[in-house]
Chains A and B, each alone.
Chain A
Amino acid sequence: MPEVEVRLTQVYKAFGNDATGRRVAKYVEPGEGGLIVAVDHIDLEVHDGEFFSLLGPSGCGKTTTLRMIGGFEQPTSGKIELDGQDVTWLPPYKRNVNTVFQNYALFPHLTIFDNVAFGLRRRRVPESEVRQRVGEMLELVELPGYEHRKPAQISGGQAQRVALARALVNKPAVLLLDEPLGALDLKLRKQMQIELKRIQQEVGITFIYVTHDQEEAMTMSDRIAVMNRGKYEQLGDPETLYERPATEYVAGFLGVSNLLPATLGERDGGYVVARLADGAAVRVPAAVVDGKSSIKIGVRPEKIRLHADAASIPDRMNRLQGRVIDASYLGASTSYLIEAGAGERITVFEQNVERTSHGSLHRPGEDVHLSWSPDHTFAVGKDGSPPAPVSVAA
């Protein structure tokens, strides 16, 4: 069992609904004269040396959670522990945690060297050691030779690296990153994602990374908590989240999924037979429906194969019939929209390996057969819609 570096216990944060100009979380309509709940009783354990992401749309409470770990906000209730020590009420400068801010927040009046040295000097590290550690850190982020420039004289990508160096040079127990790549263009983002992962592995520090970009989170993270309305809906490694989303929200936030309402039927070996609205039977791994009474079954678009006739479908596959409504050529793949028996719309991505040189394999209006492996089927609770808005009377 890996060591727990950060532990959040029932952390709850509500903002006053007034116009003081303070940061106010946006996701809940404020109750009449009430409070806005940003973080709703979260329990979280982040392990030592792990790359952990908080993923969710804007206003889901991910940044507030990060700011509470950093010490910039105090929870309304709950406890935050760092390395076993209760830090809930400690100011930022007393926490062994550093932050990479969304807009880098480099000090414009200081040189790159002085920016990176800022934390060390506040901790009264001897100047010779400061020089050595700043030099090493600029080496790590591949910016040697930039010591004497001012932040205004470097590019966004470089500023990003300086912000990272400025935080990492202090050797914090945990590094907090608040959408650090948000301001970069796509190409630079991709490059920095790989770079960040490399640096994290090199220094071995726990990273807690806040982002709204699912691809970014999947690329870098060891584990991800998908947040919605002040809670996380599912926590797991990227593969589990993608292959076995637990809620409709998670299924929709990470990639595209087809969700079909179904009623649960009899057990068949390791599977449960689920019946769709038109009576078609689909097998679902028993493990994913455990504890759920009414469900929606789900399957990712790229897991589905299309067949012109049913005879070519291997045994033991889930199968459905449908009609092609739309086909869009996307280069690497073709995206089909299929209408199934009871009018359900199903999206299918087909790799263009089998594509002929003339037109789509299947044309709109064509009847097709769909097949996919039962093991690729997941299930979400039918009532797995996001929890109702929370508002607390003042």
Chain B
Amino acid sequence: MSLFRSRRAIPYLLMAPGLLWLFLFFVVPNVQMLLFSLSEGTLRTGFTTPPEVWDFENYTGSLTKFSANFSNSIVFGGLATILTFLIGYPLAYAIAFKGGRWKNLLLFLVIAPFFTSFLIRTISWRIILGNDGPFLTVVRDVLGLVPANFSIIGTPLAVVGGLTYQFLPFMVLPLYVSIEKVDRRLIEAAQDLYAGPWRRGGLIAGAISGGLVAIALQVGLGYGSLIGEDAAPAAVLPLGVIGAVAGGLVGGLLISQAFIRVTLPLSLPGVFAASILTFIPAIGDYVNAQLLGSPKTQMVGNVIQGRFLDQNDYPIAAALAFLLMAGILIAIALYAKLLGTEELTGGRA
């Protein structure tokens, strides 16, 4: 009987260290943060609970006061996710389907940047894209493609570019895993069942999505002017046309019906995982906005960091952190609903 009991206890014993760890370093700090977010004062004056216990002044006040930062976070994080997807899916597809014996090397190259510190990499981007950096030296001074006062550092473009670069591996790896898992025989079966090139559908779908993405990017990057940057005005129409043409070409020439009907739907769980893994850290990031942006491109992460570390204003910082978390959770719930994860897994119980 005692043996039986101890055997039943084994799973709990195995879980105990992890649960204890999570309790100490996840539950306790979160409860602490929740309490902070409902109190007043600073580290110097001490924290006091306001007279009414459930006072959400910190939350409502922060939402209005830092709405620009929230909007920066959503726009930059969202754009970075779209961009990493556009770059990452073809890359993951190529490695999975055409990588052959170079597969492992290519995957290693995708994660190779992780061997350098996050900060070092971001600072190098600052140098590369800086006003006296190699990129602008060539594009501005040698080729004369942009006006003399053009700069990248300090604009939303730099922040989105930095985020896209930093989180690309987070997008590529889950995509690779799910694309790699797609059974090649299913693609042969689709071809056997008359799935050929996707000419007309690809042309239309590619043109529409290419146009929309181009417009989204343009609006997003032209977003600088909305937040008071003296950025170039949005060239929505020409870029939309360019995007539509590019998308139409890709859709009409490269995309097959077998891809649309089989490979893509079967890789959707990976798309879901990858975009969440990219979007969450991207929307909460502050390093890229700090090092590559300007005061006007500050994201919520920057405000939280400043309130916590510089101003010791724990209540506001905690409230902002909770607002960000709630926003992310709602976004993911909507996204899951939209993609329908139950359907994605093939209905296997």
Contacts and interface: CB of A to CB of B under 8 A. Distances in A.
Partners in one complex: yes
Contact of A108 (B190, B196, B346): B346
A152 B346 contact: yes
B53 interface: no
B104 interface: no
Given A107-B262, A119-B194, A150 B347 contact: yes
A15 interface: no
A99 interface: yes
A19 B101 contact: yes
A107 B186 contact: yes
Nearest to A153: B347
A218 B349 CA distance: 40
Interface string B336-349: 00000001101111
B347 A105 contact: no
A20 B192 contact: no
Contact of A93 (B101, B192, B265, B343): B192
A284 B188 CA distance: 50
Contacts of A153: 347
A98 B193 contact: yes
A367 B291 CA distance: 100
Interface in B152-201: 183, 185-186, 188-196
A326 B262 CA distance: 58
Contacts of B122: none
Contact of B348 (A21, A107, A122, A152): A152
A118 B262 CA distance: 11
A351 B191 CA distance: 51
A123 interface: yes
Contact of B193 (A20, A109, A119, A150): A119
Contacts of A122: 193-196, 257
A323 to B, nearest CB: 54
A91 B346 contact: no
A93 B194 contact: yes
Nearest to B185: A105
A20 B100 contact: yes
Contacts of B7: none
Interface in A257-288: none
A98 B195 CA distance: 12
B346 A92 contact: no
Contacts of A72: 188, 191-192
A108 B192 contact: no
A170 B261 CA distance: 18
A101 interface: yes
Contact of B188 (A21, A97, A101, A152): A101
B191 A108 contact: no
Contact of A92 (B188, B347, B348): B188
Given A122-B257, A150-B347, A152-B346, A91 B189 contact: no
A152 B192 contact: no
B266 interface: yes
Contacts of B189: 99, 101, 105-107
Interface in B259-273: 261-262, 265-266
B100 A21 contact: yes
Interface string A74-108: 00000000000000000111100111010101111
The secondary structure that dominates the B interface is helix
A97 B347 CA distance: 30
Contacts of B101: 19-21
Report the contact-size class of chain A (Cβ under 8 Å from the partner).
20 to 34
A206 to B, nearest CB: 16
Q: For B189, B265, B343, which residue has the most chain A Cβ atoms within 10 angstroms?
A: B189
A291 to B, nearest CB: 42
Interface in A150-178: 150-153, 166-167, 170
A280 B179 CA distance: 68
B275 to A, nearest CB: 19
Contacts of A298: none
Contacts of B100: 20-21
B197 to A, nearest CB: 9
Contacts of A106: 189
Contacts of A93: 191-196
A105 B346 CA distance: 14
A105 B193 CA distance: 12
A322 interface: no
A242 B118 CA distance: 73
A150 B346 CA distance: 7
A99 B347 CA distance: 25
Contacts of A166: 193
A92 B189 CA distance: 9
A109 B190 contact: no
A97 B195 CA distance: 13
A70 interface: yes
Given A107-B186, A108-B266, A108-B346, A99 B257 contact: no
Interface in B93-114: 100-101
A91 B196 contact: yes
A123 B100 CA distance: 33
B346 A98 contact: no
Q: Which 8 A-B pairs give the minimum distances between C-beta atoms? A: A119-B193, A122-B194, A105-B189, A108-B346, A93-B196, A150-B347, A92-B191, A105-B185
30 contacts: A19-B101, A21-B101, A72-B191, A72-B192, A91-B191, A92-B188, A93-B193, A93-B194, A97-B192, A98-B192, A99-B192, A101-B189, A103-B185, A105-B183, A105-B186, A107-B261, A108-B266, A109-B265, A109-B266, A118-B195, A119-B193, A122-B194, A123-B194, A150-B346, A150-B348, A151-B346, A152-B348, A153-B347, A166-B193, A167-B192
Interface of A: 19-21, 70-72, 91-94, 97-99, 101, 103, 105-109, 118-119, 122-123, 150-153, 166-167, 170
